[in-house]
Structure 1
Amino acid sequence: MYVFSRFARPSLRIGLLVASFFSTLTADAFDLAGGDLKVHGFVSQGLVHTTDNNFLGESDGQVSHDFREIGVNASWRLVPDIQLSAELLSHRAGGTDDGSVRLDYGLVDWTALSSEHGRAGLRLGRLKTAYGLYNKTRDVAFTRPSIILPQSIYFERTRNLTVSADGAELYAERYGETGSLTASFALGEPKTQTEAAKVALFLSSPPGELEARLAPDLQLLYEGAGNRYRLAFTALQLDLSYRPGTVDRLRAGRFKLTPLIFSGQYNAERWSLTGEYAIRRTSVSGFGPYFPDSHAVGQSYYLQASYRFAPQWEVLLRYDAFYADMHDRDGKAFAAATRQPAFSRFARDWTTGIRFDVTPEFMLRAEYHRVNGTGFLAAQDNPDVHTLRRRWDMVMFLASFRF
């Protein structure tokens, strides 16, 4: 009853605001040039309230509206074998992203080989990173299973490092009676020229610059007939170098992250079961005494179930776990060495949510999170780690419109 009373009044206010914001919107997608040019878009507004700590803005004891996504994308098939695609995006996420408009992706897709049994080709430009089941479409709320993706795999605080890269991607797809197999290999430069990227790594914004080597990205995806089964494996490596500023307490150092992600999903007529498991090897070296060398193997996983109990309604239940170091799961060794909270090294999140598709273009969502640990919180929203609380609750609402 105590938790409910803390949320009841803010929740009602949030729900009324979200519903009134989008209740009158309707639109259709634009197909031009005989259907060869397609233009789509979306806008999502989220509201967040937490009992303690801040997530996606100043949400501790108040309502944060600093979670917003606005995008317009277009695809144009020049000839049967060549397609151009691009998207402009404004993404607002508390202190980690200011909502400035940027090119989210922009690419040329050349299908070099094509038959009834499959196709193969090459993509060039700014590419969406293949990372688990959801990363390529994570900004479109209709494609997500929940308001926010599982933070053990798809961190909001490091989103800019993994969402896209500038480079090339080879892909091949094979179709059969039992399903399809897709393989892709990309080589691209991650986006590191942001304050958010530096804070995600150093928990502060030093005056130097991050530079990225070309990052390899491999994904294998099998989809059973009728999309009933989905199995995937993703391997990615980020290799970042730091060039110190004029007055800088950090030395020239190197940061390496190698996540391996195993994904699985089963879809029935009314329900779906999804799980992903990740091992992340991290290496920090050369930054000097203010950012000591370290090596760790992180572990993340989640299991979620969704049930469509009516044509326009869906409910969700998920357990999500993150450990920065699988050999120090409770963070006690880290706390003893740094005098920082042990619970900042892990997070375990129980989530329940509901989705209502008012129309095919307009969606409402609500979620409740019960969290133990602060491992996925952003330093920009929580600058003083000693004010964090281990156990906290969060309620979220989202309205999303697409055309």
Structure 2
Amino acid sequence: MKHFSLSLCIADLMILLYTNTNQEHDFLANKYEDYIVTDSQEKTAVVSIACGFEHREKEIPSFVFKESVIERFGLFSEFFRKILMGVLNTHDGALLHASSIVYKNQGFIFIGHEGAGKTTIRKLLNNYVSLGDDTAIIRIRGEKTYLYGSPLYQRTKRSYPNKRVLICGIFSLKQAKYALINDLDLNQQVKALSSNVFLSGLKEFNNENRKLSLTLFTLGQQQLVHNLSFAKTSPVSKVLKIFAQKPWQKKSIKNLLVQASTVFVQELQDHVVWSKGVADRDFLTQCLIINEHSWIFEFGSQRILKVIADKIIGNQEEAYHHSLVFKKIKQFKEIKVLPTIVVVRKENNFVIIDGNHRALAWYLHNKNNLTGEILVLVGDLKNNFKENSKIFAYL
């Protein structure tokens, strides 16, 4: 009996499809047109799927779809999706529950639980090419990790382009009143990924769990996963563009701490876990000025940056902090460089321990603009930090 075959290349992996009829062959060829490879493109198949009849390959996992692919394409898509999970998980890859975009030939992937904001992010970034609205195919190749186009029919009911781009970042989403991208440690990265991957559970894929765990650990070592807090009105694209700039990515936390060598930073170093970040102007509205005598003398007990900024504009006196803020504003008008501030997270706020004048000046300088992105070094207090510590009084 004559059969028809179709070779698909997904994430640089070859999958063989067999059909009973030419009609089914053409139907699948139309559905997966962008992923078809010819015999001249030599690749070794990693799995086969026979549609409507029994067919098994000797050397690779083989599956049979017993229904009509034309009449039951929705069911076939789910069947195909599960097999692809197993293929990826056993070949240095993964299928993430995520949305993705491409910017300047770099991949940006957004993960998170239901309601975290994947749909919202997609709407905020709808001007960019997408390689998947509900799932993202990733695979490690050598020392690099790539995002691939997905042939899986998702919420948009369409297959995405067969494209491969280097991953710039994977972002774990969290809704907030501001936009902030900041780094995660290795354990946090692996945990975020583990909550957003799929397992096939198919017996044909040996050691699927172990191989996937190794892949996720490698992704964490590559420091690809970051936190992205954002609001529905956040200028997410601007924050992502700054994050993607190589000069900022290459800056080490150690050098940033040396540059911010205030007594507060020095005394807190052993009690804080630091991460680099990029934030929008709204982030500054969540910041508190350091609880220090000279600030109290000039502004009383008020510490909210936004309120103090309004006071400075409303009363342009020659006081010490007023003068320094206006001096910084003048510098920002002359030099187009994003400032860096150092903050420590305290409950729902961030206390500025280095760069209070820069933060106030930047907030005021961008008051009437749609810009105001700022570089931040975020400190999270360790569990061993005691609230009765002398330095805690400044937070």
Please confirm whether the aligned pair reaches a TM-score higher than 0.5, indicating the same fold.
no
| Higher fraction of strand | 1
Give the alignment's TM-score, normalised by structure 1.
0.25
Give the alignment's TM-score, normalised by structure 2.
0.25
